[in-house]
Structures are given as C-alpha cells and as structure tokens.
Structure 1
Amino acid sequence: MSKKFASQADLDEKQVSFVKLSENAYAYTAEGDPNTGVIIGDDAVMVIDTQATPAMAQDVIRRIREVTDKPIKYVVLSHYHAVRVLGASAYAPQQIIASRDTYDLIVERGEQDKASEIGRFPRLFRDVETVPAGLTWPTLTFTGSMSLWLGSLEVQLLQLGRGHTKGDTVAWLPQQKILFSGDLVEFDATPYAGDAYFTDWPQTLERMAALQPAALVPGRGAALTTPERVAQGLAGTRAFIADLHAAVTAGVAAGKDLNAVYKDTYAVMKQRYGHWVIFDHCMPFDVTRCFDEVTAHRDPRIWTAERDQAMWKTLEG
C-alpha cells in the first residue's frame, strides 16, 4: 500500500487541554484526538463520550477530580463508535445513556465496528486489554429528546437529525447555551463520514445553529468558546460535507467508477482540507460511503476489519 493504513502511522502523543467553559462545563481535548465533555451539576457529574479505553479514561477522571469530588453518575454516548464508548466502564456510572437509534446500531454492528476501529487507531486504543469483554451497552435510552436535572442544572439530550450516524445525540445546556456536539461538528479536523447520511447532515447542522450556542465542544478539535468560533466550526463542517457530496455526485453523474471518483474527489478536497487532522485516514471511508449513498445504499453498510483493508487496498494500493 502506498499509504500506511488509516491512522496506523499516527503514533505521536498529543497535548491534552482541559478547558473551563462555565462553572458547570469543561472540554477535554487533545489536538484533534476524540474529545470528551464534562458537565458538573449540583450533585453529580455527567461525561459525554468516554475515550477509547478505560486506561485512557483515567486521565479524564484525573482532570475531573482536580475540580470536583462529586460522583460521576452519568455517561452519555453521542453515538456508537468504539473510540467514543469503550472507556465507559472506568467511570462506574449509574446510567449509560444513548439514543434508541444508537442502541440499535450497537446491536446491529457493534462487534464489527469495535474490531474495525481498533485496527485503524492503535494509539487511540492504548491499553486495549483494559476494555471489558463484550460491548458498552446503554442502560437508558430515549427517542428524540430527554432532560436530566443535575440539581438545578438542566441538561437536554437531543437528536437533531442524522449526520455522522443515524443515532447522533447532542448535549445542550439551555441555561448557559453550551453545546456538546459529538462528531456532528469537527474543528480543524476531518469529519469521518463512513457511517454518515450526507444529504441529512447539513440540515442537522442548521438545527444546531438555530440553538444559537455561545460555546460548542466538537467531536475533535479545540473547544469553540465564542459564538463567532461556533459559527466557524459549523460552517467548516457543513462545507466539507457539501463539497465532498458535490464532487462524488458529479463523478457518479459522469459515469465514473468508485476508484475514479475517489481520485478526483481526493484531489479537489486536498486543496482546501488537506491540512486538517486525519484527512488521509478519513477520505477513503468518506468517499466510499458517499458513493454508496449516491448510488445504491441509503443506509451505511457495516464496516468490518476485512472490509476496511479491502477498501483501502482498492483505493490506496
């Protein structure tokens, strides 16, 4: 293969930041690695996305304990991807919360996704042996929306539409106008769209913008701490999704096969987005999924470790 598979060559440790957004909200970020959100209420702590392994989650817990001794009662899964959920056991929460759509995706493809992602991201699954056997299962699910009250602090969990996956959940603090977006929004990081709904994603981003967040924690990238930065993050993600979809659609309309569409789309996207984190990792998955959606597969096909390697060899070999 001309390029090292996925992120197997990405072995450098990243600098972690733990940014205070308000008296109740923090962002755990690491130079484009998956982010974790932290909400501290009157009587309990909520964690949004867990890191990839219990060993890696310990660093999040250490940061939390520097600012509060309140119990970590809730873990929220923004979606089902292994890199977001397999660290959940470290927090020993009372409840693991996800949308019903996310639960259904774990049932349908959780095992395959776990094997696929561990193969793509060796650094992000450090000490993978600390992951308990089996999958991370939600203990509480919802459809559409639900509110939890951490004392006087309301946390709204919202499904604003499909995008990164069909089960995407955002966490919203309406009193403070702080949004935790999961991978629906990235900042200076390439959106992974291997399980995406390209035609739905822009409208979902519009619904997020309609909340008028004052601050936003993206799935990857720095916390966005002003409305202007939030608008920049939303616009950047929207543009990437729209540009990639337009390039793939044009290639399909011209009668080109996946390989030709990939080469053309990569060249177009590289000019504008090639400096974003994990660009080369994401592009084969993103173009393959978009090609599927434009042609014959409204819903994403399941990625397995074997399908990952076959796809990469076909497009990058």
Structure 2
Amino acid sequence: MNKRWLATCGFAAILTAAFFVTGSSAEPNVVTKIADGVWFREGDIKGQGHCNNTIIEMKDYLVVIDANFPSGARAVLADAKKLSPKPVKYVFITHHHGDHDYGSAVWTEAGATTFAYKGVAEELARYEPNRWQDTAKTRKDVGELNRTAPEMPKETFDKSPYILKDSTREIRFYHLGWAHTRGDGFAWLPKERILASGDAGVNGAFNYTADANIGNWPKVMEAALKLNPLHVMPGHGGPGGPEILKGQAAFMTDLVKAVSAEVKAGKKLEELVTMKNGSPTATSITLPAEVKNWVGGSLPTQVADAYREISQKQPNGAIPHK
C-alpha cells in the first residue's frame, strides 16, 4: 500500500458497523461471501488505512489473510466471530507493510499463529522498526501497543507452496517472485479457484513502489494467472476476477515502457516529474486509458521510482531508502 499517500490521510474516522452480503461487490467494512466458508472483507483504506482481509473456514478453525493495522485486526476478529464460532488459528501475512502486518500482536494475543514467507520476516527486520516508530507517532492504534518494532511472524516457510489441508479444504501459500515487495505472498484455494493476492495485485490506484521490483512485477502476475483463478481477493479495492491481475500487469508494463522511452531519449528525472519539498507532485508521463483504474495521485512517485529502477539498472526496492 502507498504509505506516502497514507501519510496524508486522517485516521480519526470511526469504524462503521460491518454487515454481511452475498455477491461479488464489496465496500469498506462489509463482509462478502465469495464461496461456502470463504469471505472477503474490504478494509477502510481512506478512513483508517486498513487493508482487505479474506477469512477462510477450515474444519476446526479459521484462517485470516493479513494482520492489518491493530484497529483493523480487532474489527476483522470481531467479524470472524460473527461468521463462525471457530477460533482464528492462523493469520497469513502477505508482506511486511504496516497496513498488512502491524496488527500481528493483536492476533497472537487472541491465540492465533502468524506466519509468512521468509522474505516477509527479512523485510520486516530491514525496514519496519523505523517505520513502526514513525507510524506510532501518528496512529493511536500502533502507539498504544507500546512496542519499538512490529511483532515478527511466529512461523515462516521457504519452500513454495506451503500447504494447510484438512478434510474440508486445502490452502496453498505461494511466493511467486518480487513484485510489490521481496516477500510477496499469495494464498490459493485450488478447489474454489480463489486467490488472495495481497498488494502484488490491487484493484485500483493503490500501488506503492518504493520497495518494489517494478520491471519484474508483470512476471509475478503472469505466474499468478497460471494458477487460473476465478476469484481474486486484492489487498486493496473490491474483489473481482483475473482481470485484476491482468490490469495490474498492464499498468506496470505501461509504466516501464513510458519511462524507459524517456530515459532512452536522455531525459532527466526533473524533466518528467515536478518536485515540491522533495516529493513528486506532478508528471508529464501519461498512461493508456486501458489502465486508468490503476492511475491516481501516486503516479508522479511511481514514475520517479521507475526512473530510478531503469536508470540504475536494479530493482527500485534494492536502491537504499528508508
């Protein structure tokens, strides 16, 4: 998720009461049934910075995709109790960003085990202590935990897929490569053909590229599409189908293509991006209408990140940054 954008958002909004619907559409704080025993909860990104969550029912317990911020974790936990009397046993963290991870301690205190691909733990150690401390100054739900860093996943895996299976359902957890972050994880339900994509696949203008491998991102989407998903549960934005992954790939492809052409033409970054107080505020780069769903106020920052990646010939996330 784009923390540069999140930093400008207010988090004083009161969480509205969740209610349950059946169908493919969703809205913030609403739980949508996707299949028997599988629910999608869209987070209130604008009001509280929350990510989306998927809740999956197993024979004796529930699995939740992403830990959310602490306030989001509490809201999801409350909704899970409305859905089923079964306990949340596992919480899978798709990546290290605060809106997907900082609620981990809430879940473990409730008795759940958090787990992730090993790259998530590595990125947490690399970036998140400082980011946590900065976030704690502006977010009450983070600050009140009185921690100096986010809680690490209780378990990690290094071989993909990692599988949870019982007599009722199978969930496969994949790492398909570096896209949004080095540790990007996906949760795949093969029988139901449901894919939870984290922020590697979002439905809207929510792409945060500071920790990304922008050029490799489309390849990760191609790998996810090979699973042949029918339903895609994005990290942000409403649920949909494989068009989310295709659009995400197209956006990154078009971004790299447009910026590469300018780099090849000898353009300097300041010719492409207008800066104000050290932050990109506007860009001369335009992208095709076909990817407008993913184009928003962060495009100048995405252009700057792509420019650095292309000109320095390494993933933008590998270039030293905070």
In 1, the alpha carbon distance for the partners of 2:206 and 2:198 equals 13
Look up the SS of the partner of 2:195 in the other structure.
strand
In 2, the alpha carbon distance for the partners of 1:131 and 1:266 equals 43
Q: Which has the higher contact order (CA 8 A, sep 6+)?
A: 1
Match of 1:41 among 44, 58, 81: 58
**2:250 alignment partner AA:** A
Q: In percent, how many aligned pairs have the same letter?
A: 25
1:232 equivalent in alignment to 2:243: yes
Give the RMSD, CA atoms, in angstroms: 2.6
Q: 1:174 to 1:273 in 2, by over 3 A?
A: closer
- Where do 1:98-117 residues align within 5 Å? 98-115=116-133
- Where do 1:91-170 residues align within 5 Å? 91-92=107-108, 93-115=111-133, 125=139, 127-133=141-147, 134-143=149-158, 144-170=160-186
In 2, the alpha carbon distance for the partners of 1:273 and 1:131 equals 39
In 2, the alpha carbon distance for the partners of 1:90 and 1:139 equals 13
Q: 1:206 to 1:118 in 2, by over 3 A?
A: farther
Look up the SS of the partner of 2:69 in the other structure.
coil
Q: 1:131 to 1:295 in 2, by over 3 A?
A: farther
Could you report, residue by residue, the CA deviation over 1:44-65 in whole angstroms, capped at 9, with x for unpaired residues?
Answer: 1111112222x23211111111
How does the TM-score come out when normalised to structure 1?
Answer: 0.81
1:259 equivalent in alignment to 2:270: yes
- Where do 1:44-123 residues align within 5 Å? 44-53=61-70, 55-92=71-108, 93-115=111-133
Unpaired stretches in structure 1, ≥5 consecutive residues: 225-229, 305-317
1:209 equivalent in alignment to 2:219: no
Could you report, residue by residue, the CA deviation over 1:231-268 in whole angstroms, capped at 9, with x for unpaired residues?
Answer: 32122211211111112111211222222233585540
Look up the SS of the partner of 1:26 in the other structure.
strand
In 2, the alpha carbon distance for the partners of 1:262 and 1:198 equals 18
1:295 equivalent in alignment to 2:303: no
In 1, the alpha carbon distance for the partners of 2:216 and 2:187 equals 19
Range with greater deviation from structure 2 (293-302 or 245-254): 293-302
Alignment check: 8 A CA contact 2:165 2:171 kept: yes
**Cα distance, 1:25 vs. partner?**
1.2
**Cα distance, 1:113 vs. partner?**
3.5
Could you report, residue by residue, the CA deviation over 1:53-106 in whole angstroms, capped at 9, with x for unpaired residues?
Answer: 2x2321111111111111111111101111110011222244211111111111
Unpaired stretches in structure 2, ≥5 consecutive residues: 14-26, 275-281
Q: 1:118 to 1:83 in 2, by over 3 A?
A: farther
**Cα distance, 1:194 vs. partner?**
1.7
**Cα distance, 1:131 vs. partner?**
3.4
Higher relative helix content = 1
**1:28 alignment partner AA:** R
Matched residue pairs, number?
A: 288
In 1, the alpha carbon distance for the partners of 2:150 and 2:181 equals 18
Quote the residue 1:20 is aligned against: 33
Q: 1:162 to 1:48 in 2, by over 3 A?
A: same
**Cα distance, 1:10 vs. partner?**
3.3
How does the TM-score come out when normalised to structure 2?
Answer: 0.80
